[in-house]
Amino acid sequence: MNKFEDRIAHQVQAARGNVKKYLGRAAGNRRLESEGRREQAGGNMKRAADKLRAAFKR
């Protein structure tokens, strides 16, 4: 994948985690909620790394 596709994939991962988190919370499913939190955090960390990488390229 190229850099643009990576950035989009990381945004999608964070959004997907956010959806899982709220679905798990609404359904009372702690496992789904924690899986969503974990996935969202992973996506957010990758997005932060993308931003940092872009800042140093300028």
Question: Distance between CA 56 and CA 20 in Å, rounded?
Answer: 33
Q: Has residue 1 got a pLDDT over 90?
A: no
Q: How confident is the model at residue 9 (pLDDT cuts 50, 70, 90)?
A: very high
pLDDT tens sequence across 39-57 = 999 999 999 999 999 899 8
What is this structure's pTM?
0.85
pLDDT > 70: percent of the chain: 98
Residue with tokens 């989009």: 8
Determine how many CB atoms are found less than 10 A away from the CB of residue 28: 8
Mean pLDDT for the stretch of residues 8-21: 97
